[in-house]
Amino acid sequence: MKFLIFPLLFIAFYLQPYIGFAQYLPSDHYKHVVAEKVLNQIAMAKGDNRTVPSFRISKDKKNIAMYFAGENEHFIYLDEKVYDVCVGMGKDSLNALACIIGHELGHYYEDHSDHFGFNTEFAKHDQKTLEDVADKFSLFFGAVAGYDTPRVFPLILNKVYDAYGKSDKLAGYPDLQDRQSIVKSAINEISDFINIYRVGQNLYAIHRFQEAKDCMEFIQNHYPSKIVHNNIGVCNLSLYLNSNNNQEAYPYIYPFEFEVRVKRMKEISKLSKRDHSFTLIDEAIQLFKEAIHIDPYYETAYINLACAYSIRGNQDASSGTINELQLFLEREGKSLSENAYLIKGISKALNEDYTNAQKAFDHVTSDSDINQFNHSVLKAESGKDASYFDDFRNWVITYFNNEDQEVNHKIALERNKEVIDGKLPQDIHEGATYKEINLGNWASVFFRDDGTSLNYIYAGKDIEVKMIIALDNNEASTFKGIHFNDDYQKITTSNYYGYPSFRWNKKPLSIIVYDHGNIGFLLEDNRVVNWFAWAITE
C-alpha cells in the first residue's frame, strides 16, 4: 500500500478535473454502503465534532485510495478495484477495508492539509512522518472500532501492490520493503495501546474497575478520544457505586451498569441516605462533558452524564441533560434511545415525579432484565408498596425468586478445566517472552501474543489479574464446547453455561461473564467473537 502527498499546485491543475469527470458508484450501491459503514465506525471510535468526510467509490482504477482536503468539503475516495481486492481476502475483507479507509481518515483527523493517496498520474513524493501518523491512526482506531487492523495491514499492503502492478522498485513510489517497514514500526508501537485497551475492557467486565481505569488513563495520555473519556468516567461511576456502603439508596439500575444480576449480589438492607463524598462522580461529570465537547452528538456521554448527575442527587440536571440531547437529536431527525428515556424516568422518579417518570418509562419497551427491574421499582414506589418501603432487601430477594426458573438456575462450572491453548490463567507467568508496559501508579501490564490467544498479566500494588483471551482464529472450544461464532442462545442454555452472572450490553457488542466459572464471552450481534478466562490474586 502506498500513500502520497500532492502539492496544491498540482491539485489545482490535475485533481479538480479528475474529480469533476470521474464516475462513482451510487450511494445506495452495496459496495458504497459497506465501505461507508466502515468509515463511519472508525470515525465514531475516534470521536470528533468535525463532520466526517464525504465518501465516494470511483469506477476508475487510478487512485487506489485518496484523501482530498477541499476548501468547503473534505472527501475520501476509494477505487472500486480496491474494494474488490479487499473482498478477495475473505473473512478479513472488512479488516482490510478498515486499514485503507482508516489511513485516509487519519490524514483528515490529524489535520494534514494537503492531499494524500495512491495515484499513478500526479507528481509523487513520500513524507514518511505523515504516513506513519496516518498508519497509527488506522491501526489504533480501527482496532477500537472492532477491526483486526494490526494483523491485516501488512497483508492488504502486499495485495494492493500486486493488484496494481506496483513492483518493489516502481519509480515515484516507495519501495514495498520501505512501506512495510513504516507499517511494521507503527504496528509495534500501536499494539501496546490496543492490548491495553483490550485488557482494560475485560477488566471492567469482571468488575475490576480501578484496574480498568488505570488502563484507560494510560491510553488517554497518548490517544485521547471521546470513547476513552467516556470509559474513564464510567469506571468512576462504577467505583463509586461499588464502594458505596449505602447502595440501597440507589434502588434503580442505571443504563451504564451491567445488567440486573449486580443487584442480586449485594447485601441490601433498607433504604437510606446517599453518601455525600462525590469526588469520583465530579471527575466523571467532567470527563463526560469533555467527551461531549469533542462530539456534541455523542449520545452515550449524555446518558452517562445524566446518570452521574442523578447519582450525585441533582435530578433536575440529569433530566435537563437528556432534554438537551433530545434537542440535538431532533435537529437530525432522530429520537431518544431507550437508555435515554430510562435515565430520564429514573431522575423523575427520584424527584417523586412519578407521573412523568412513567411517561418516560413508557418508551422503555424492550424485554431486558434492567428494564423489567426498573419498571417494577417504579411501580412499587408510585404505588406506595408497603413491602418495598418496609423491607427493601426482602422485596429485592422476592423479585428475583419470582423470576424464570432458567434464569435463577446456576449451572455448575469447572474453572480449572477452562484451558485456552493448553493453559489455565493461573499458570502463566511473565518472563522474557512477555512485553511489559508500565501504566504508572505501581501498575504494569505484561502481555504475549501466541497467535490464537493473548496472555495478559495486570500487576498492581495489591492485586494480580491473569487473563487469557482466545481469538477468533482459535479452532478449539471452551471446556463445555462453545466455539467462535456460536450464538448467545446456545451459550446460555442449561447444556452449556446457563444464564450469565452479568451481561454488559453495548450493541452490537456485548460481554457476558460467569463469575463462578471465571469465564466470559465477547459477542458481536449475539455471536461469539472471542472468549476469555481469568484468575485473580489479592
Kindly state whether residues 149 and 269 are assigned to the same domain. Answer: no
> Tell me, what CATH number does 339's domain have?
1.25.40.10
User: CA triplet 263, 268, 270: central angle to 5 degrees?
Assistant: 130
* DSSP 3-state of 495: coil
Kindly state whether residues 475 and 437 are assigned to the same domain. Answer: yes
DSSP-H helix ranges across 466-512: 488-491
Kindly state whether residues 422 and 392 are assigned to the same domain. Answer: no
Kindly state whether residues 425 and 399 are assigned to the same domain. Answer: no
Of 372, 403, 434, the domain-final residue: 403
Q: Which of 153, 107, 150 is nearest to 130 (CA)?
A: 107
Residue 179 lies in a domain: no
Residue 182 lies in a domain: no
What integer pLDDT is reported at residue 258 of this predicted model?
A: 40
Those residues with Cβ within 8 angstroms of residue 402's Cβ, 6 or more apart along the chain or in another chain: none
Of 379, 403, 427, the domain-final residue: 403
Residue 328 lies in a domain: yes
Query: Which three-class secondary structure string do you get for 204-263?
Result: HHCCCHHHHHHHHHHHHCCCCCHHHHHHHHHHHHHHHHHHCCCHHHCCCCCCCCCCCHHH
Kindly state whether residues 112 and 149 are assigned to the same domain. Answer: yes
Residue 485 lies in a domain: yes
The answer to whether the beta carbons of residues 252 and 377 sit under 8 Å apart is yes
Kindly state whether residues 54 and 149 are assigned to the same domain. Answer: yes
What integer pLDDT is reported at residue 271 of this predicted model?
A: 44
Task: Give residue 235's domain range.
Answer: 224-403
What integer pLDDT is reported at residue 128 of this predicted model?
A: 64
Kindly state whether residues 392 and 441 are assigned to the same domain. Answer: no
Of 403, 436, 454, the domain-final residue: 403
What integer pLDDT is reported at residue 480 of this predicted model?
A: 95
Q: What are the Cα distances from residue 22, in Å, to 15, 141, 142, 422?
A: 10, 30, 28, 55
| Mean pLDDT, 10 residues at a time, the chain of 538 residues | 27 37 84 94 78 88 79 86 94 93 88 49 50 84 86 89 68 65 82 90 92 94 86 93 74 69 40 65 95 84 95 96 92 89 96 96 86 92 91 82 64 93 95 92 93 95 95 92 94 91 72 93 90 95
Kindly state whether residues 85 and 111 are assigned to the same domain. Answer: yes
Cell matching residue 471: 481469538
Residue 212 lies in a domain: no
Cell matching residue 481: 464446547
Kindly state whether residues 250 and 349 are assigned to the same domain. Answer: yes
Kindly state whether residues 323 and 425 are assigned to the same domain. Answer: no
Long-range contacts of 312-321 (CB under 8 A, 24+ apart): 312/278, 312/281, 312/282, 312/285, 313/274, 315/347, 315/348, 315/350, 315/351, 316/347, 316/351, 318/343, 318/344, 318/346, 318/347, 319/344, 319/347, 319/348
Kindly state whether residues 351 and 472 are assigned to the same domain. Answer: no
Residue 408 lies in a domain: no
Residue 208 lies in a domain: no
Long-range contacts of 237-241 (CB under 8 A, 24+ apart): 237/280, 237/281, 237/284, 237/304, 237/307, 237/308, 237/311, 238/204, 238/207, 238/209, 239/209, 239/210, 239/213, 239/280, 240/275, 240/278, 240/280, 240/281, 240/284, 240/311, 241/311
Cell matching residue 103: 489511513
Kindly state whether residues 314 and 443 are assigned to the same domain. Answer: no
Q: Look at the chain and report how many structural domains it folds into.
A: 3
Q: What are the Cα distances from residue 469, in Å, to 52, 140, 444?
A: 33, 19, 18
Residue 188 lies in a domain: no
